[in-house]
C-alpha cells in the first residue's frame, strides 16, 4: 500500500491509471452491450477472433443496437415506443425499431383476422352468392387498411432513399422467406458454411410457423425429417398435434454457427402460420430486415449452396454490362439429396412464359435455355424469379417491395420483372448454378400457406378468391387491355383507400423505360395472350 502511495505521486503511474480507467470504461461499455439476457456467452478466444473481424462493422453500425433478439419467438423489444418514434420521425432507424413496427402490424392483423374468422363482422349483402364474394372482399379490405396504417408510414418516412446507407464492403444480405420449413436450419448452415466470407453474410429470416400457442387449435401437419432412405434422401413425417420445430433454435444453438446469431448477422421475424400472407408479402417483411449490406439476395428456405457462392455471384454481377443496375436471377436446379453438393452446371435461364386462363392471364415465368460455358460475362434475360435473385442493394430504392400483394402466389414474378426493368435494371442469368433447390411435388405433403388460411377463415378457396382480385392490381399496373372493363371495385375513386391500385405510384412501375417496351422486349402480347419464343433470351444473344 505504501508503495502504491509513493507511486501515486509519480506522473507515469497517473498516466497508467488513466489508461486503466479508460479500459475499465470500455469493459463496462462492452459488458452493458452484451449483458442482455438474449446474449449467450461464446468462448473468449472465439469472440476475440471474431471481435477483430467485426469491430469496424460494429462501430459503424449503431442501427444494430439494441439487438433484435432472435429468440424467444415474438420477443419483447425493449423501449419499442421510443425505437418506433426514432425510426419513423427522427431519422434514426434501427432494425429493432423496424421489427417493432412490423410486430404492431402483425398483432393488429392477428386480431383483425380472428374477428373476421369468427364472423363478428357481418357483411352488408344478404344474397348468398354475393355474400361469399363480399366476405373475401371484406378480408382483403381489412388487410389494405392495416397495411396503410402500419406499413406505409415506414415507407413514406424513407421515400427516395434507402433506410440505411449502403455499406461498400461486399457484404451480402440474404432475404429468406420460410413457411413451416423443415430444411431452414440446413439452408442457413449451408449458406454460412459454404461462403468464402461468412463474416460478411447477414440474413433476414421470416419464420411462419405453427408454434402451438393456441390450445384450442392444435397444429396440423408438422413436417420433420425422421431418417434417410437407401439413396440418402430425407424421409419426412407429417405429424398432427405437435408444433413445428423452431429451426432458428437449431441453427443458433449450434456451436459452429452461434456466433453469427450473436453478432446480429441473423435477424428473425416470427409469424403465426394462420396470419401467413403468401410469399410476396413475406418478402416485403424480410426486405425490412436489411441493414445496409452491399448486396441484396432473395432466396427460398430449402436450398443447398456451392462453395464460394458469395464471391462467385459478386464476380458475375460485377461482370454484367449494366452493373450496378443488374439483377442476377434463375430457378436453381433441384437436388435429389439436400446434402449432396450441387454441381457447378451452366446457369439455367428464365426465357419462357405461359399465359393461362386459370391464372388470370398473367404471364407465368418458366425455364428455357442454359448459359453457354464459353460466355465471358452473364447475358440478359426477361424475367426475375422470386426464388433467387442477387443485386446491388440499391435495388430496394428503385424497386421497393409492395406490401399490397397479400396472399398472392402466381403473379409476383412478372410484377417484379417489369418493375425492375422499367426502373432501368437489366436482368441476367448467373453463368453457373451455385444453388440447389428442393422442388416439392404436392405428394410430399409439406404444408402450404393456403391450407392454413383456408382453415382459419373456414373458406376452402379463400386464397384463390382473394388472389383473383389481387392479380388485378398487377394488371392495372401493366396496363392490361380490358382491365378497365373488368369490374374492379372502387377503382374510379382516387381517394378510396381500398382501391386495388392504391399506392402504385410508390410500389409500381419505374420511369426509365415503359411497360410497353418491356412487353415487346419479353415478346408478350397481352391482346393475343401469347408469349415468346424469345430466342435472344434462351440463346443469350444480349449482353
Ligand atoms: C400468435 O398467436 C397466439 C395464439 O393465437 C396469440 O396469442 C398471439 O398474440 C399471436 N401473435 C402475433 C404476433 O400475432
Ligand atoms: C369490425 O367491426 C367493428 C365495428 O364496426 C370495427 O371497429 C372493426 O374494425 C371491424 N373489424 C374488422 C376486422 O374489420
Ligand atoms: C452443428 O452443425 C454441423 C454442421 O452442419 C453439424 O455437423 C453438427 O451435427 C451440428 N451440431 C449439432 C449439435 O447439431
Ligand atoms: C457457345 O458459344 C460459342 C462461341 O460463341 C459458340 O461457338 C457455341 O456454338 C455456343 N454453344 C452453344 C451450345 O450454344
State residue 24's pLDDT score.
42
Is 110's C-beta closer than 6 angstroms to any atom of ligand 1? Answer: yes
Q: Ligand 1 centre and the CA of 524: distance in Å?
A: 44
Cα gap 42→429, rounded to integer Å: 40
Nearest CA to ligand 2 atom 5: 121
CA 115 to ligand 2: nearest atom: 13
CB contact burial 248-261 (16+ within 10 A = b; e otherwise)? beebbeeeebbbbb
- Between strands 295-299 and 172-179, the pairing is parallel
Q: Ligand 2 centre and the CA of 466: distance in Å?
A: 19
Nearest CA to ligand 3 atom 1: 254
Is 106's C-beta closer than 6 angstroms to any atom of ligand 1? Answer: yes
Which positions ≥6 away from 331 have C-beta within 8 Å?
348, 350, 367, 385, 387, 388, 437
- Between strands 388-392 and 295-299, the pairing is antiparallel
**What's the Cα-to-Cα distance from 39 to each of 184, 210, 235, 261, 427, rounded to whole Å?**
22, 25, 35, 9, 41
Nearest CA to ligand 4 atom 1: 372
What three-state secondary structure class fits 249?
helix
CA 191, 192, 198 angle in degrees (round to 5)?
Answer: 130
pLDDT in tens, the chain (543 residues): 334 333 333 443 344 434 444 444 444 344 333 333 222 223 333 333 333 444 445 556 778 888 899 999 999 999 999 999 999 999 999 999 999 999 999 999 999 999 999 875 555 444 455 566 688 999 999 999 999 999 999 999 999 999 999 999 999 999 999 999 999 999 999 999 999 999 999 999 999 999 999 888 889 999 988 988 887 778 889 999 999 999 999 999 999 999 999 989 999 999 999 999 999 999 999 999 999 999 999 999 999 999 999 999 999 999 999 999 999 999 998 876 666 666 788 999 999 999 999 999 999 999 999 999 899 999 999 999 999 999 999 999 999 999 999 999 999 999 999 999 999 999 999 999 999 998 888 888 899 999 999 999 999 999 999 999 999 999 999 999 988 766 676 777 888 999 999 999 999 999 999 999 999 999 999 999 999 999 999 999 999
Among 100, 207, 213, say which to mutate for ligand 1: greatest number of ligand atoms within 8 Å of CB. Answer: 213
Q: Which ligand is nearest to the CA of 373?
A: 4
**What's the Cα-to-Cα distance from 352 to each of 2, 284, 375, 395, 420, rounded to whole Å?**
87, 26, 21, 24, 18
CA 378, 192, 209 angle in degrees (round to 5)?
Answer: 105
The whole-model pTM stands at 0.87
What three-state secondary structure class fits 365?
strand
Is 254's C-beta closer than 6 angstroms to any atom of ligand 3? Answer: yes
Cα gap 451→137, rounded to integer Å: 19
State residue 147's pLDDT score.
98
Is 208's C-beta closer than 6 angstroms to any atom of ligand 1? Answer: no
State residue 63's pLDDT score.
84
- Between strands 266-272 and 201-209, the pairing is parallel
Cα gap 492→422, rounded to integer Å: 25
Is 541's C-beta closer than 6 angstroms to any atom of ligand 4? Answer: no
Query: Partners of 348 in the beta sheet?
Result: 370
Which grid coordinates are listed for 152? 406505409
Is 108's C-beta closer than 6 angstroms to any atom of ligand 2? Answer: no
CA 111 to ligand 2: nearest atom: 13
Is 337's C-beta closer than 6 angstroms to any atom of ligand 2? Answer: no
434, 309 Cβ separation under 8 angstroms: yes
The gap from C-alpha 458 to its chain's centroid, in whole angstroms, comes to 28
Q: Ligand 2 centre and the CA of 122: distance in Å?
A: 9
Is 256's C-beta closer than 6 angstroms to any atom of ligand 3? Answer: yes
Is 213's C-beta closer than 6 angstroms to any atom of ligand 1? Answer: yes
Q: Ligand 2 centre and the CA of 114: distance in Å?
A: 11
Amino acid at each position: 500500500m505504501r508503495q502504491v502511495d509513493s507511486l501515486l505521486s509519480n506522473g507515469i503511474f497517473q498516466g497508467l491509471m488513466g489508461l486503466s480507467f479508460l479500459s475499465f470504461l470500455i469493459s463496462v461499455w462492452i459488458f452493458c452491450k452484451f449483458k442482455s439476457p438474449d446474449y449467450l456467452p461464446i468462448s473468449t478466444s472465439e469472440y476475440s477472433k471474431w471481435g477483430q473481424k467485426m469491430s469496424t462493422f460494429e462501430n459503424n453500425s449503431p442501427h444494430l443496437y439494441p439487438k433484435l433478439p432472435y429468440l424467444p419467438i415474438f420477443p419483447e423489444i425493449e423501449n419499442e415506443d421510443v425505437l418506433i418514434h426514432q425510426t419513423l420521425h427522427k431519422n434514426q432507424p434501427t432494425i429493432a425499431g423496424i421489427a417493432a413496427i412490423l410486430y404492431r402490424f402483425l398483432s393488429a392483423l392477428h386480431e383483425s383476422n380472428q374477428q373476421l374468422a369468427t364472423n363478428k363482422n357481418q357483411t352488408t349483402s344478404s344474397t348468398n352468392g354475393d355474400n361469399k364474394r363480399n366476405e373475401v372482399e371484406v378480408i382483403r379490405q381489412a388487410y389494405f387498411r392495416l397495411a396503410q396504417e402500419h406499413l406505409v408510414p415506414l415507407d413514406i418516412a424513407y421515400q427516395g432513399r434507402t433506410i440505411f446507407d449502403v455499406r461498400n464492403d461486399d457484404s451480402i444480405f440474404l432475404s429468406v422467406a420460410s413457411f413451416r420449413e423443415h430444411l431452414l436450419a440446413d439452408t442457413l448452415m449451408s449458406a454460412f458454411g459454404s461462403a468464402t466470407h461468412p463474416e460478411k453474410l447477414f440474413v433476414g429470416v421470416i419464420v411462419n410457423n405453427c408454434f402451438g400457442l393456441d390450445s384450442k387449435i392444435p397444429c396440423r401437419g408438422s413436417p420433420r425429417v425422421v431418417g434417410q432412405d437407401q439413396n440418402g434422401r430425407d424421409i419426412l413425417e407429417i405429424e398432427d398435434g405437435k408444433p413445428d420445430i423452431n429451426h432458428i433454435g437449431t441453427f443458433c444453438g449450434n456451436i459452429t454457427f452461434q456466433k453469427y446469431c450473436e453478432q446480429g448477422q441473423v435477424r428473425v421475424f416470427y409469424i403465426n402460420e394462420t396470419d401467413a400472407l403468401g410469399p410476396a408479402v413475406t418478402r416485403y417483411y424480410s426486405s425490412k430486415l436489411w441493414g445496409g449490406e452491399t448486396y441484396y439476395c432473395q432466396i427460398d428456405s430449402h436450398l443447398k449452396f456451392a462453395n464460394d457462392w458469395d464471391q462467385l455471384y459478386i464476380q458475375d454481377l460485377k461482370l454484367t454490362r449494366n452493373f450496378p443496375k443488374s439483377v442476377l436471377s434463375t430457378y436453381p436446379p433441384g437436388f435429389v439429396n439436400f446434402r449432396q453438393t450441387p454441381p457447378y452446371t451452366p446457369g439455367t435461364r428464365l426465357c419462357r412464359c405461359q399465359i393461362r386462363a386459370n391464372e388470370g392471364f398473367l404471364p407465368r415465368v418458366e425455364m428455357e435455355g442454359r448459359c453457354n460455358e464459353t460466355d465471358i460475362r452473364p447475358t440478359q434475360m426477361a424475367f426475375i424469379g422470386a426464388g433467387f435473385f442477387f443485386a446491388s442493394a440499391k435495388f430496394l430504392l428503385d424497386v421497393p417491395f409492395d406490401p399490397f400483394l397479400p396472399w398472392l402466389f402466381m403473379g409476383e414474378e412478372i410484377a417484379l420483372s417489369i418493375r425492375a426493368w422499367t426502373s432501368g435494371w437489366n436482368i441476367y442469368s448467373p453463368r453457373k448454378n451455385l444453388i440447389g433447390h428442393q422442388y416439392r411435388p404436392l405428394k410430399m405433403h409439406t404444408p402450404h400457406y393456403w391450407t392454413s388460411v383456408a382453415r382459419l377463415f373456414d373458406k376452402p378457396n379463400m386464397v384463390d378468391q382473394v388472389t383473383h382480385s389481387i392479380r388485378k392490381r398487377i394488371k392495372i399496373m401493366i396496363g392490361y387491355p380490358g382491365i378497365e372493363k373488368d369490374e374492379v371495385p372502387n377503382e374510379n375513386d382516387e381517394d378510396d383507400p381500398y382501391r386495388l391500385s392504391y399506392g402504385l405510384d410508390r410500389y409500381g412501375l419505374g420511369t426509365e423505360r415503359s411497360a410497353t417496351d418491356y412487353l415487346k422486349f419479353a415478346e408478350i402480347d397481352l391482346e393475343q395472350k401469347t408469349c415468346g419464343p424469345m430466342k435472344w433470351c434462351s440463346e443469350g444473344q444480349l449482353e
